[in-house]
C-alpha cells in the first residue's frame, strides 16, 4: 500500500467525483494499484485562485475497469474528508520533494503527472496542514467523550512542519468516525456562518456555541459521505423534519414541504421558500444527493 496525490480539476474530461470515485487512464494503473487500501490526497486548481491546491483526502477501496471506455479505470473511494482550507502546493516551499522549484513554481516535470506516489511523512504533513484549523464552536454536549479522546482535533499543531513526522498518527485520526463527524460539523457550520439554510435563524448560546446542526443529505449509514456537498446547516427542529422526510430541497434549492405535515410550518421558513446555500457552486448541495433524499426520504 502507498499514499499518493490524485490530480483533479472541476471541469475535468474524466468522470471524477472526489467523494466517490477517481477516473483515470491505463498509464496510471500501476501507481493507483499501490494505493488500494490506503489514503490519497486530491490536488488541483480552484476556481478564482491562481496555483494548485491540496483540498481533500480519501481512502481507495478498489479499482475497476471503465465498462464504457477502453483502457480507463475507476478507483472507488470512501471516507472522504475535505480540508478545512485549501493548502497551496507551494506553501512552506512545497511538501513533495522536487515538486516546487527554487523560484517557487511547480516543476514542469510534475505538471503532467496526474498520479504521484508520496511518502507517508509527506502525506502526514499535507493532511496536518489541511485539517489543523481548530473548531471555534466544538459541540461538547453531543461529542463530549469522542472529542476529548481524539488525539487530533485539539492537539494538531498549527504548522504542518511541526510535530511528529510519521504518517500513522494522522491516519489513525482519519479512520476515527467521531473525528470525521466533528470535522464535517465544523466545516458546515463555518460554510453557512452558523445559520440555518431553511429558516435564516442563527441561535448562539451563552457560551458562544451555535444551536445549528450539520445535517447529512444522504446519511452516513446509507452510504453518505462527509463532503460539504452532502451537507446542510439546519436548526435542530428543521433537521428533525428533514431527516424524517417532512422537508426536502429541489435541485434549484426550493424548500419542499410534505403533505404529511400535520401543521403548516411555512412561517418558520424563508418567505420565498428558497434555502440559502453557499455562493461557491462547488460547496453547494449536490443534485445527486438531493435527488436521493427526494426519492428515498421525502414523503410527497
- Mean pLDDT along residues 11-25: 94
Helix (H, G, I), strand (E, B) or coil at 6: strand
Give yes or no for a contact between 224 and 218, defined as CB atoms under 8 angstroms apart: yes
- What domains can be seen in the chain, in order of their start residue? 3-185 (3.10.590.10), 192-296 (no CATH)
CA distances, 239 to each of 85, 111, 143, 199 (Å): 26, 44, 17, 11
pLDDT number for residue 169: 64
Query: pTM for this one?
Result: 0.85
Q: Print burial letters for 57-96: b (CB count within 10 Å at least 16), e (below 16).
A: bbbbeebeebeeeeebbbbebebbbbbbbbbbbbbeebbb
- 188-221 per-position pLDDT tens digit: 999 999 999 999 999 877 666 788 999 999 999 9
pLDDT number for residue 158: 35
- Mean pLDDT along residues 275-281: 95
Amino acid at each position: 500500500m502507498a499514499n499518493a496525490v490524485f490530480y483533479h480539476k472541476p471541469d475535468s474530461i474524466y468522470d471524477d467525483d472526489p467523494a466517490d470515485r477517481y477516473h483515470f487512464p491505463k498509464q496510471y494503473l500501476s501507481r493507483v494499484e499501490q494505493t488500494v487500501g490506503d489514503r490519497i490526497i486530491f490536488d488541483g486548481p480552484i476556481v478564482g485562485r491562481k496555483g494548485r491546491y491540496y483540498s481533500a483526502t480519501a481512502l481507495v477501496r478498489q479499482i475497476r475497469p471503465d465498462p464504457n471506455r477502453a483502457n480507463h479505470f475507476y478507483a472507488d473511494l470512501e471516507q472522504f474528508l475535505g480540508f478545512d482550507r485549501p493548502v497551496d502546493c507551494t506553501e512552506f516551499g512545497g511538501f513533495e520533494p522536487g515538486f516546487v522549484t527554487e523560484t517557487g513554481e511547480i516543476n514542469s516535470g510534475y505538471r503532467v503527472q496526474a498520479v504521484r506516489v508520496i511518502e507517508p511523512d509527506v502525506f502526514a504533513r499535507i493532511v496536518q496542514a489541511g485539517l489543523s484549523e481548530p473548531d471555534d464552536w466544538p459541540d461538547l454536549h453531543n461529542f463530549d467523550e469522542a472529542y476529548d479522546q481524539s488525539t487530533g482535533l485539539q492537539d494538531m499543531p498549527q504548522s504542518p512542519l511541526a510535530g511528529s513526522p510519521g504518517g500513522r498518527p494522522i491516519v489513525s485520526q482519519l479512520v476515527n468516525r467521531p473525528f470525521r463527524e466533528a470535522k464535517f460539523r465544523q466545516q458546515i457550520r463555518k460554510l453557512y456562518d452558523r445559520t440555518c439554510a431553511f429558516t435564516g435563524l442563527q441561535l448562539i448560546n451563552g457560551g458562544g456555541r451555535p444551536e445549528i446542526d450539520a445535517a447529512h443529505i444522504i446519511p452516513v449509514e446509507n452510504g453518505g459521505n462527509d463532503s460539504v456537498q452532502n451537507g446542510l446547516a439546519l436548526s435542530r427542529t428543521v433537521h428533525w423534519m428533514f431527516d424524517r422526510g417532512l422537508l426536502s430541497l429541489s435541485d434549484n434549492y426550493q424548500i419542499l414541504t410534505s403533505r404529511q405535515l400535520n401543521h403548516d410550518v411555512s412561517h418558520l421558513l424563508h418567505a420565498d421558500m428558497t434555502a440559502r446555500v453557499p455562493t461557491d457552486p462547488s460547496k453547494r448541495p449536490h443534485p445527486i444527493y438531493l435527488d436521493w433524499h427526494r426519492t428515498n426520504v421525502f414523503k410527497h
